[in-house]
Structure formats: C-alpha cells, structure tokens
Structure 1
Amino acid sequence: MGECVLSVTVSNHPGVLARISNLFAGLGINIDHIATVRSRERHVSRVRIQAEMDEEGMKKISYSLQQLPDVIRLDKVRTRSKRFSYWSAAYGLFIAVMGLNLVSPIYALYKQQWHLTPGMLSIAFAAYAIALIPSIVITGQLLPGGGFRRFLVPGMMIAMSGTLCLLFATSYPMLVVARVLQGISVGIFNGVTVAALTRLHPQQNRRQAAMVGAIAVTAGNALGPMMGGILAQYAPYPTQLPYFIHLLLMIPGLVCLISSRAELSGRASGYKLHLPTLPRSGTKTFSVAVLSSFVAWGITSLYGSTIPMYLNEWIGQTSYVLSGLIVAIVLIIAAIAQFRSARWKLRSMGLFGTILIGLGLLLLVVTVHTGSLICLSASIVCVGMGYGPLYAGSLALVNETTSDEWRADVLSLFYVGTYLGVVLPAIGLGLMTQWFGLQRAFDCFAVLFIILILAGWRGWSRQQTA
C-alpha cells in the first residue's frame, strides 16, 4: 500500500468531479485530496487526485478513468511509499532540533568575546521560546487545513535562516535574532511532525509515532551540542564551522521534504485561529503529562545552559568539548532509555522516570555545592535515564488518549508546557544566580522542582493507561 498521485485532463462538464469521485468509491478507494487547475484551453481542466492504494488498485483506477467520457487523457501517475514521507518528517524534526542545541557549548566563547553576563546568556538561551510557543499553537491549529509539506518546507527554510544568522553573528543582538528564527522553525516542526507521523504510520499507531518523534527530538538535542563542542575545541573558526556543517546537513532534509508527496487531508478552508482548549474528560491525564514534561525538560536543560558556564570553575580549565559532551551524554542515555522502555506500560515509564530524575536533581545540588565531578557524572546518568522514559511516556500518553478532533489543541498545549519548562527555569536560575550566587539560587530551584516531582509521582501512580 502506497500513495498514488494521478494527474488527469478532463472536459469542463457539470458533475465531472462527482463522477470521478463515484468511480473511486465504486472501486473501494478513498480520495485523500482532489484539486482542479484551469488550463489555457477554456473548456479543459487538469484534475490532481491523491489516494492511497496498492499496485492492483492503481491499475484498475487508471484503466477505469480512461473509460470515462469526461476524461481526455491520463497525464501521469506517481507513486511513493509513505515510508519516505514518514522518515523525511522525522529527519526534519531531528535536524531542526539539532540546530537549536548546536550553540550550547559555544556560549562560553560568546561570553568571553562579547563580555556577556549570566543573565544575558540565559535570555539568549531561552529567546527561541518567545517565537516557538506561538509558532506551535498557530501551526497546530492550521494543520487540519492542509498537508504537512506546506508547513515543514518553510520550517526548514526558517531553520536555515537561523543557522545563517549564527554563522555571521558578530554581536549579541544577532545571536538573539538567530535564536528567535530557530524557535519559529522548531515550533513549526513540533506543531506538525507528531500528527504527520501518526497519519503516515502504516497502522496510524499513535504511540509509535509519538515515540519516533520523542527519539528524534532527543537525538537532535544530543548530537547538536556534541558536534558544537568538538568543533569549538579542536577545529578552526569555532564560531562559524559548526553552523556551516549544520547548513550542509539541512540540505538533504529540505530536498526530502520538497520531494515528499504525502499530505495530511483535512478541512481545506474556514478554519479559524483560537485559543487552544482541553476536552473536559482529559484534563487530569493532560495535567500529569504536561507537568512531567515540564519537569523533565526543566532539569535536563540545565546541562545546556547553567552547568557549562560553571564547569571551568569545577575542573580548573575551559573545555568546550566537555560542555557539549555533558548535554550529549545526558540525551544519549535518554535516547537509549526511551528505546529500551518503549514497550513498557506508560504508567511504568512515568514512575521510573520520575524517580530517576528526582535522584539526579539531588545529585546536581550536591555538585553545585561541592564541585564534585563524581556527583556530576552520577547526576548525568540519573537525569538521562529519567528524562528519556518520562518525556516519551508523557508525549505518548497525550497522543494515545486524545481523539483526532482535539489533537491539534492538546498537542499545542502540551508543547507550550514543555518549552516553558526549558525557558522559565533557565531564565529564572540565570537571573537569580546573578543576584544571589549559584548555590543559593540552585537550592531554591531544587526545592520548587522537588515539589513538582512529588506532584508528578502522585499523578502517575493514579494512571491506569497501558
């Protein structure tokens, strides 16, 4: 079974589209999308039909179309497996998120070159959320009106624009502008990709689609800082070369998305923007999922924002590689944990992740007070093992328990909560550190998050979802 796109030239007779639709229905084939384009000849139009069918169905429909009196000719037939579109969307999400995190280990260089304060760095780190959150909400609501390509192709182009800004950045404002562009791009991908993966999955398996989306995000978060750190430490042009390589990696992603023909069918027009809302029946489940995602991202993001800025004080030297590797190792462990826990019950994923990420936070508190690399290493392992199943389980819980009617709104709100978990702790901790010092600020942060972790544990313990 694959996607088939037919281009047919027809006479402009009344009812021609209805007769074509009836022909498809008679053969048991659903039309995913049909559109007409006027040709230069006044009485002739071209009809583009998109449907999912096997090879035998394609032969039958091609023959039957040519027997209709309204059909002048069957111009072309294109087929492509949905698998190509499925992995194109996943790669696009991965490479966009990778660019978002490529800059993490390079912040230390910007701090030295531009004399930035911890507060300025925290704002730069979180600036992308200013654009990302509304981007997620708007894109998620517009998605039912058209195919995912019309969102993901511009999303990839905006991601390339953000990387170009970083490549030529010479001042702090350019850094912030680049982060905003990256936020728009990642917002588009997050708002579209999980819905696209669900639609393009052979069985439309919501849980597997959510898992692939979560792994793509985690892998992008891991490989971005790793590549940035290694190139910043050992390669020439440390504030340019990482972004140039990222541009090269985005080119095949853009080509694949442009050449992908699979579309998400839905309402073609008349869809108005609105404030996202939740179905009453799913409020409790959503609250558990979004709280857990907020906690998972809030703690994990510290390894890409606050920790690298103080790492040189703990080890006695500046290491961009180590700064990047810390983030990468956390997320590589998380990706492995996501893969290994993919068949667990969602409740087990949530409880396991909550325990491990709470333990990792306590170890991180000890690290901040003592500068112990042993405690830092242990916290990396615990947070990675906790973040993986906790975030993936939260996303799968939302995607699995939400009907198609509410999916756009619920996923939009979920991602808003998720990225607030990246932004608010990073900005808050950065500003508090500037005012009160790292240790006192981190103690306040830890107390707040332990309360949230306990609330999340209580919520997961009451979940009965498989």
Structure 2
Amino acid sequence: MHSRVAARIPHRHAFWVVGIAFIVLMASSAAPSPLYPVYQQSWGFSAITLTSIFAVYAVALLATLLTVGSLSDHVGRKPILIASLLLLIVSLVLFIVADSVPMLIAARVVQGIAAGAATGAMSAAVIDLQPNASTGPLINSIAPSLGIAGGALGAGLLVQLAPAPEILVFALLIAAAAVLAVALLFVPETSAMRGFDSRRHLASTLLPRASLPKSVRGPFLLIAPALFATWSLGGFHLSLGPSIIGTVFGIDNHIVGGLEIFPLFASGAVAAALVRNGVPRTVMMIGATVLAAGVALSLASVVTSSVPLYFVGAVIAGSGWGATFLGAMRTLGALVPAAERGGVFATTFVVSYLAFSVPAVIAGLAVHRLGLTTTVEVYGSFVIALALFSVLGFSMSQRRNR
C-alpha cells in the first residue's frame, strides 16, 4: 500500500505532465509542415498531393476519435495516454525512414491515430487534474496553439540551420515523447473507469459516433461555427502557409515558412491566457470578431503583396483563435459531468478536425483551377463569414435569454 501511494505524483504535478504531453502531441502534428517543401522538391509531388499528405493525418485522427474517443471514460485515462505516446513514437520513426510519398502518408496516418486516441483523454485528464476552475480550460485551449506554433517554428529553424533536419526534428520529438510516457506511469488515474457490462457494450462503445448529452447540445450548436472558423484557418496555414510565403511573396526561406505558422498560434496562446477569466460567451463573441478582422487584413496583404501586413493579420487572427477556443472549452468544461468528459471533448475535436482538414483539401484542389492567390481570397472570405455567423448566433441567443 505504501509503495503504491509513493509511486503516484501529486495532482498539481500530474496536471503539468499531462499538459506538456498535450503540447508535445500537437507540436509533432505541426513539425512536418516546414519539411513539406523539402519533400516536395526532393520527390516532385503536386500541391494536391501535399494537402492530401496533410489531410490523411486529420482523417486518421477523426476515425480514431469517433471510435475510441470516449474509451478513457471506461478503461482509464493513463492506459490510453501511454499507448498513444508509444504509437506517436512509432509514427516519428516512420518519418525518419520515409523515402517516398507512400511512406510519408503512412507516418501521418499512424500519427493521426495516436493523436486521435489521446486527444479526448488528454482534454478530460487536464480538467480532472486542474488545480482550479480556470487553469484546466486554459491548458486545453492553449496546448493546441502553443504546440503547433512551437512545432512549426522549431522545425523551420532546424530545416534552415541544422544538418539532416528530416532526422533531427523527429529524433527530438521521440526523446520528448519517451520521457513523457515514462512520467505518465506515475500520474494518478482520474477516470471513473465505468468498464463494460458485456462484449456487446464494448462493441457499441467502439462504434463510430459523435454524441453529446442533452444539456450540452444547445450551447454546442452555438459554439460549432466558431470552432469551424478557427480550425479551418489553422488547417489552411499548416498545409499551404509555407507555399504562400514562397509563391505569393517570393520568399525562399524555411525559417520564414515556420514563422508564417508561428504568429497565428502563438498569439492564440497569449490571448487565451489574457482572457481566461472573462465570461465565456463574451470571450467567444469578441474572439470571433477579432479573428474575422485579422483574416480580412491577411487578405488585404495578399492583394497588396505586403509581407508585414500579412504577419500583422496572422497575429490578430490568432488572438481571435485563442480567445474563441478558450471560451468554447470553458463553456463545455463547466457543463459536462466528469464521467462523460472524454466523449464530449472527443466530439468537440471531431468538429474541430473536420474543419482542420476538409477545407484545406478543397483548397489544395482549388489551387490548380483558381491559382493560389484566388484560393486564399475565397478561403479567407469563408472563414470570415463563419466567424461573423457565430457572433450573430450568440447575439441572438443573448437577446432571447434577456
């Protein structure tokens, strides 16, 4: 009994272990982006192939979320998180040995499965272990943006400055994932672990589905357009952002390609930290408005070929991204009982990753027909419309409540 207690670290430390694991997971998803132009130059594939490589990650992630997203509510958070990190290490090894597009796709698929298995469990564990009511939603909101920003910028620096970046980027991530997998062995289990009544119960749990308790459905319908606007913008930057820097602005530098992604997500993390104590609905409305304004500036920069304006627009849009997502996670975290958090957060990320992948693939197809500049303009207008639609929905809801 004494050794069992001694093997567990305190909740406040366990909270940060899970939070850092979430950041590393998201960093690994963004790390390949600055390498795509390198692979494209070496293997000679098209923009459609590039966005397809990006999209298979999200498809694998979505399929996994829909099947095992709520599994941690039944078998525990720790087994899911540790297994996910081990699977992530396998995907990173595949990146290192990849010598063709099919190998790259295989690496992304395994990486997507690892992320899909972990995302719902990590979000739920962060809420379970949070030291206070605002810290958990804050980490859940900034982990994706901070991880993606750090992964993209770090990989961009290594591609430009370090030898053998196709190996070094993923070797560093393997080391981080291995350390965190060991640390998670000592994290206390927080799931109610409802288990399964029968094999039929297990099979029904693993059937692809996205479900929400009735108490959450109303707020979620208001949140969904904002989620779609934020994540579709992020997916576009991660898949075609480096190409915009090279083609639209004529800058052939991998560090700048990484920096193209960094301000969007880094400013999102900063904004989420600044507004973490605001009223969730108000934070979402302001965030969606700011996001629309930032995207409008980015569109103006493409028309005028202004690089500084493009980065200013990315910072403003990213601030809206962070505030909007924080408001969404705080609203859901407060409404969902602990025993259902894994499933609800999995459903939330299903919507998010649909927005992350599907519009980006459509944009990749549109580049050939419309050109990159026109595609950027159409895509940006779509994001602006979604964000403003969300603001309108929240405004009407507030008036009804009054």
Q: Normalized against structure 2, the TM-score is what? A: 0.91
Is structure 2 residue 45 aligned with structure 1 residue 131?
A: no
Name the amino acid aligned to 1:368. Answer: V
| Alignment deviations for residues 69-113 of structure 1 (CA, whole Å, 9 cap, x no partner) | xxxxxxxx6553122322221121111111110111111111111
- Residue 100, structure 1, aligned to residue 34, structure 2: no
Query: Percent of counterpart pairs with the same letter?
Result: 24
What 5-or-longer segments of structure 2 have no aligned partner?
Answer: none
**Deviations for 1:276-335, whole angstroms, at most 9, x for unmatched residues?**
323334322101222211111111332222121131234434110011112112211111
State the alpha-carbon separation in 2 of the partners of residues 442 and 329 from structure 1: 18
Equivalent residue in structure 2 for 1:372, among 298, 302, 306: 306
Give the conservation status (yes or no) of the 8 Å contact 1:140–1:191.
yes
Structure 1 gap segments, 5+ residues each? 8-47, 51-76
Matched AA of 2:160: Q
Pick closer, same or farther for the CA change 1:406–1:254 going to 2, 3 Å. closer
CA RMSD of aligned residues (A): 2.1
1:368 is displaced (CA, Å) by 2.9
CA contact (8 A) 2:298 2:311 kept: no
Could you tell me which residue of structure 1 aligns to residue 88 of structure 2? 159
Measure how far apart 1:195 and its partner are.
Answer: 1.2
TM-score (norm 1): 0.79
- CA–CA distance in 2 between the matches of 1:334 and 1:132? 22
Distance 1:458-1:315 versus aligned 2 partners, 3 A rule: closer
Match of 1:413 in 2: 347
Tell me which amino acid in the other structure corresponds to 1:330: L
CA drift of 1:347 comes to 1.8
Amino acid at match of 1:247: I
**Corresponding residue of 2:375:** 441
Equivalent in the alignment of 1:284: 218
Q: Of 293, 297, 305, which residue of structure 1 is paired with 2:239?
A: 305
Matches within 5 A, 1:223-242: 223-242=150-169
Corresponding residue number in structure 2 for 1:217: 144
Partner of 1:149: 78
Partner in structure 1 of residue 294 of structure 2? 360
**Gap change, CA 1:140 and 1:317, over 3 Å in 2:** closer
Matched with 1:260 is: 187
State which of 150, 163, 170 in structure 1 corresponds to 2:99: 170
For residues 246 and 79 of structure 1, the distance between their equivalents in structure 2, rounded to whole angstroms, comes to 25
In proportion to residue count, which structure has more strand? 1
CA contact (8 A) 1:137 1:409 kept: no
CA distance in 2, matches of 1:384, 1:186: 22
Q: Distance in 1 between matches of 2:15 and 2:117?
A: 16
For 2:2 and 2:311, locate their aligned partners in 1 and report how far apart those are by CA, in whole Å.
Answer: 57
Equivalent residues in 2 for 1:419-434, closer than 5 Å: 419-434=353-368
Any residues of structure 2 matched to 1:108-119 within 5 Å, and which? Answer: 108-119=37-48
Q: Please name the residue that 1:25 is paired with.
A: none
- Where 2:70 maps in the other structure, the secondary structure is helix
Runs of 4+ in 1 over 6 A off after TM superposition: none
1:226 offset after TM fit, Å? 0.7
Which of 342, 346, 354 is the matching residue for 2:276? 342
Give 1 or 2: higher helix fraction: 2
Matches within 5 A, 1:385-404: 385-404=319-338
* Cα distance change, pair 291–153 in 1 and its aligned pair in 2 (3 A): same
| CA-CA distance at 1:462 after TM superposition | 4.4
